[in-house]
Amino acid sequence: MNIYVDKYIKKNNKILVENKAAFLDSIGIHDREYAPSEDSVGTDYPHLDKETNKHYKTVPATLTEEEYEEVLKSYKAVKKAENQKNSSSYVLKLCAFLIWLGGFCIVGVLSNDEKKSDSSLIITYIIIAFVCGMFFWALGEIIRLLNEINNKD
């Protein structure tokens, strides 16, 4: 094998192993390595086990490739479900549609009434309904996007 290709593969494998360890640690899948003596307590072993009263550090859990793939599938399924369950965004967008519908119904009623069918009043109601609806729609979109950013891998 070419020496440069070999270096590239080794470098990428090292990055993948580091990313795998960081990912597993971030979701709470790790082992504990306890301090061998009280002298090594401090920055090397920053956590304290309250049950045993010993200091420890977290180390990456050793998983098989099949176990790791199952963890990834489960993690992605949970994140996808979290992204889809955003009721605040849904309610705000529903309010936007109701505002638009109500505004255009009012315009329809006003345009049929000959005494109140002033064109400037009708245009004003159309603009107000559109702007208020767009405000609610935009707020719903902002909340949806913030939720997506928050739940990003």
Q: Which domain-ending residue is among 82, 101, 117?
A: 82
Averaged confidence pLDDT in the chain: 79
Examine the domain organization and report whether 16 and 57 are in the same domain.
Answer: yes
Examine the domain organization and report whether 94 and 36 are in the same domain.
Answer: no
User: For the chain, how many structural domains are there in total?
Assistant: 2
Q: Name the DSSP letter for residue 143.
A: H
Q: How far apart are CA 87 and CA 47, in angstroms?
A: 38
CB 45 within 8 A of CB 55: yes
Q: Which residues contact 54 (CB under 8 A, 6 or more apart)?
A: 34, 35, 48
The Cα diameter of the chain in Å comes to 92
User: Measuring CA to CA, how many Å separate 108 from each of 55, 100, 115?
Assistant: 73, 12, 14
Examine the domain organization and report whether 65 and 91 are in the same domain.
Answer: no
Task: Read off the pLDDT of residues 16-69 as tens digits, 9 standing for 90 and up.
Answer: 666 777 777 777 777 888 877 766 666 677 777 888 888 888 777 777 778 877
Q: Any long-range contacts for 123-129 (C-beta under 8 Å, 24+ apart)?
A: 128/103, 129/99, 129/100, 129/102, 129/103, 129/104
* Average pLDDT for 95-118: 82
Domain span including residue 44: 3-82
Q: How far apart are CA 86 and CA 90, in angstroms?
A: 7
Examine the domain organization and report whether 97 and 112 are in the same domain.
Answer: yes
Q: Which residues contact 72 (CB under 8 A, 6 or more apart)?
A: none
Examine the domain organization and report whether 20 and 70 are in the same domain.
Answer: yes
Examine the domain organization and report whether 143 and 93 are in the same domain.
Answer: yes
Rounded to two decimals, what is the model's pTM? 0.46
Examine the domain organization and report whether 53 and 118 are in the same domain.
Answer: no
